[in-house]
Amino acid sequence: MTDYNATYLGRVANAISQLGNALSGGNPDISVSARIGFMSLIMRSDSLFWIVCRVIVDFTFYPVDGKGHCKNAYLSDIDEDFKVGQGWVPGLVIMSILMILFCLVLSPITWFYYLIRILHA
C-alpha cells in the first residue's frame, strides 16, 4: 500500500481528494477513493455509479498502487465514519464528473510512468 503522506505531492493530492469527498456530502477525513471502495466493495452497492467509479479510479492508479486502489484506500481509512447514505446528490454528480475528468488527465501520466519503469527494469 502506498503511503501518500510520505511526499508533498502525495499530501496535496490526498487533501484535494478529501475536499472533493467533503464537497459531495461525505466525511472530510475520507478520500474519494476510500468512499468509492467502501460503497462498491464493503456496502456491495448494486449502484452502477459506484462500480463505474471504482473501475475508473482503480485503472488510473494501477500503475502507482497495483490492484485495488479503492479497496486499499478504504482499508487505510477503515476507522473513519463513512456515514452510509449521506451524500448530496448534486455533489455526487459534480464529484463524478470531476473524478472522470481528473482520471482522464492523470491516467496517461500514470501509465506512461509505469511503462518507463518496465522499460528500465
> Per-residue pLDDT tens for 8-20?
988 998 999 999 8
Over residues 59-108, the pLDDT tens digits come to: 999 998 899 999 999 999 999 988 766 677 788 888 888 899 999 999 99
- Residues spanned by the domain of 92: 4-119
What is the C-alpha radius of gyration for the chain, rounded to an integer number of angstroms? 14
Count of domains for the chain: 1
DSSP output for 69-106: HHHHHHHHTTTS---TT---HHHHHHHHHHHHHHHHHH
